[in-house]
Amino acid sequence: MADANTENPPNRVYVVPEKKIKSAMDMAKWEKSEAYYDLLGFISSMSVALQGTRASQNLEVSPVVEKLMNAIDRLEQLAVETPPIDQPARFGNAAFKTWFQKMRSESTQLIADALPETAKEAVKELQVYFEESFGNSTRIDYGTGHELAFVMFLMCLFKIGAIERKDEVAVGLKLFDKYIILVRKLQVTYRMEPAGSHGVWSLDDFQFVPFIWGSAQLAVNSPIEPAQFVEDKSIDKYRKELMFVGCIDYIRQVKTGHFAEHSNQLWSISAVPQWSKISTGLLKMYQKEVLSKFPVIQHVFFGSILTLTPVKPGTPLPCPRLGMIPRQSTSAVPPVPAPPKFGDGDSTM
């Protein structure tokens, strides 16, 4: 991973990102790239930061994070103004295409308004990831690849210094949560199809990262054991407080039948005794089921922030060490991590 001092050089030239993974043969290039390692490092760092947190806790929200939350609110308002149309097809309401066009027409300004002056030139690079985060307007579907685009959007904000490492918890509990709520509304409103779902054997039809970060949140001072997250009383009590339980609540709302039948993978996870093991296990599953799949990665964009530059041979993959709160205080953290440091984690090849 590149040194923090060189991540956001003053002479950086921002570009419009492009898709560069053209065939399955290119996947090896992706899996040895700085972008791949930075992505796993970012997910790991966020996991460590979110341990023991609660949605209702008081948080200082930076101006950039606040403005990005307002941007998500604006996109939700556009959905209110763009109701589904009457059509013969049950799934894939064509009104989503109209919403998507509206979103794209406003995205440049929404991002520009949120960024500090020092990062304004990054708009053309950031907006590509942002616009890819809400689904495909042709197929009217949404999947983990679109979620990945938003995670990359967040990571880019950290890498260029627009968001600082002290903002990690607010990004996870406030901004990312607001994004998840919006895409759920889009899925329901426009009857979006899941992109590339494996049905009952997938973790979830649409999302993955909230389960990683949500289980990490529970790795310290969890009010429930893993076996309890499928219980109605636990869901009702903690669905607004805990990201993982919120995901389970949403599944409960949109699916019928016994949980073990429609969400077998999650049901199996409830048998794992520790939340820390669940989170690290889900991260490995994410690497295997999402990040190593060409049908997903062929749609990933690369530019000046996220690059396919190979890492040095022997560079270990970041992996979070969960189950303890890092000793390092927020005030001691460098103000511009790009990408965030991952000194609190173990390394695994």
pLDDT digits (tens, 9 = 90+) for 220-269: 999 999 999 988 899 999 999 999 999 999 888 887 777 767 777 887 88
More confident residue, 90 or 19: 19
Q: Which residue do the tokens 């993982």 mark?
A: 244
* H helix or E strand, kind and range, residue 144: helix 144-159
- What are 277's two structure tokens? 């093991």
Distance CA 66, CA 70 (A): 6
Q: Which of 96, 148, 152 is nearest to 127 (CA)?
A: 152
Cα 27 → chain centroid: 21
Alpha helix ranges (H) inside 190-297: 209-217, 232-238, 243-254, 259-262, 264-269, 275-286, 294-297
Q: What is the pLDDT of residue 333?
A: 35
- DSSP β-ladder status, 193-194 and 141-142: parallel
Residue 116, C-beta contacts closer than 8 angstroms, at least 6 positions apart: 63, 64, 162
Predicted pLDDT at 326: 59
Domains of the chain: 22-302 (1.20.120.1150)
Helix 144-159 to helix 209-217 angle (10° resolution) is 60
Report residue 139: phi and psi, to 5°. -85, -15
Return the top range by mean pLDDT from 10-19, 145-154, 202-211, 271-280. Answer: 145-154
For 70, the token pair is 């307002």
**Overall average pLDDT of the 150-179 stretch:** 97
Six token digits for residue 228: 């309890």
Q: What is the DSSP letter of 131?
A: H
Helices and strands in the chain: count of H runs, count of E runs: 15, 6
Contacts of 69 (CB under 8 A, 6+ apart): 61, 174, 175, 178
Share of the chain above pLDDT 90, in %: 74
Cβ–Cβ < 8 Å for 270, 226: yes
Q: How far apart are CA 23 and CA 117, in angstroms?
A: 38
**Encoded amino acid at 142, one letter:** Y
